[in-house]
Amino acid sequence: MITFQKQGARVEVWHDLDDLSARAAELFISTAYESITGNGDFTVALSGGSTPRALYARLASEAHEEYAAWARTHVFWSDERCVPPTDEQSNYRMARETLLDHVPLPPQQIHRMRGEDEPASAAALYTSQLGQHLTSRAGRFNLMLLGLGDDGHTASLFPHSSALDDMEHLVVAPFVEKLRVHRLTLTFRVINDAAHTIFLVSGEAKAAALHAVLEGDADPHAWPARMVRPAHGGNLTWLIDQDAATQLSY
Ligand code: 6PG
């Protein structure tokens, strides 16, 4: 593994998705135990898409049966598609199939975004649920998992979206022009408040976006992942594989 700093963040380059997922599982568990020791429980925002599947499957595998903290773990999402929880596009469904159905996590500690509802009301409901949960937890996630789109989006914060500069709301339901759909997403107000943030980025298709996000002075509104800047002492780690790192200088 090669590691270096970029824009105040730690970057770790791993051989492939499997290796970076193993590292992500290690950090997930260490962050969870750190949080439980300090706060009594652990609140994590899962990312969607396909990259985190390997991490979630690893956490569900017997390799991590020793992770005995599911009873102290609360799972939220960084974003969700506006589809039912049974839809193949659902980030909740992906996490349920790869992780949640395989670990003893109390159902009342699984806090999914209701993609099946009218977007604005789903965002308002999640704002209330998330706000209530975080109030007694210093207002922040212990761990925020994020992915990177090949256009530089993260969560469902897409280039030039009006949601990028929203510092008022915790959860919004922007219409994504590129996809012609609404999405549900945490805002950077919440994302940048997290104590620990980890990006998982794999594959050659992400190399150009990773270069634009981590190097040079590209417009953050054109490459929204550049706007992930943990505040209040939070830290940011990029777990990437060699294929995604091909356009980085290090
Ligand atoms: C989503 C995600 C999104 C994702 C990136 C990368 O709902 O799609 O939250 O931000 O992390 O698009 O997706 P892949 O991992 O599938 O490349």
Residue matched to tokens 């975004």:
113
Q: How confident is the model at residue 68 (pLDDT cuts 50, 70, 90)?
A: confident
Long-range contact list for 114-118, CB < 8 A, 24+ apart?
114/85, 115/80, 115/81, 115/82, 115/83, 115/84, 115/85, 115/87, 115/90, 115/184, 116/83, 116/84, 116/85
Q: Evaluate whether 185 touches 157 at the Cβ level (below 8 Å).
A: yes
User: Taking residues 124-132, what's their average pLDDT?
Assistant: 98
pLDDT value, residue 137: 87
Mean per-residue pLDDT, 13-26: 97
DSSP state of 160: T
So what's the pLDDT on residue 62? 67
Q: Is the separation of the CB atoms in 76 and 45 below 8 Å?
A: yes
Task: Name the DSSP class of 142.
Answer: S
Q: Which residues are bridge partners to 188 per DSSP?
A: none
Phi and psi angles of residue 113, each rounded to the nearest 5 degrees, phi first: -80, 135
Residue 106 has a pLDDT of: 95
Going from the Cα of 154 to the center of ligand 1, the distance in angstroms, rounded, reads: 7
pLDDT of 120 higher than 70: yes
**Whole-prediction pTM value?**
0.97
What per-residue confidence (pLDDT) applies to 244?
A: 98
* pLDDT score, position 64: 66
pLDDT of residue 222: 98
Between 216 and 75, where is the model more confident?
75
| Protein residue closest via CA to atom 5 of ligand 1 | 149
Q: Ligand 1 pocket by C-beta < 6 Å: which residues?
A: 47-51, 78-79, 91, 147-149, 153-156
Contact 157, 106 (CB under 8 A): no
Q: Best substitution site from 21, 51, 184, 190 to test ligand 1's pocket, by max atoms within 8 Å of Cβ?
A: 51
Distance from chain centroid for Cα 239: 12
The burial of 249, by beta-carbon neighbours within 10 Å (0-12 exposed, 13-18 middle, 19 or more buried), is given as: exposed
Q: Using CA positions, which residue lies closest to atom 2 of ligand 1?
A: 48
pLDDT, residue 119, reads 98
Residues 21, 113: Cα–Cα separation, whole Å: 24
Q: Share the mean pLDDT of the chain.
A: 96
pLDDT for 139 equals 85
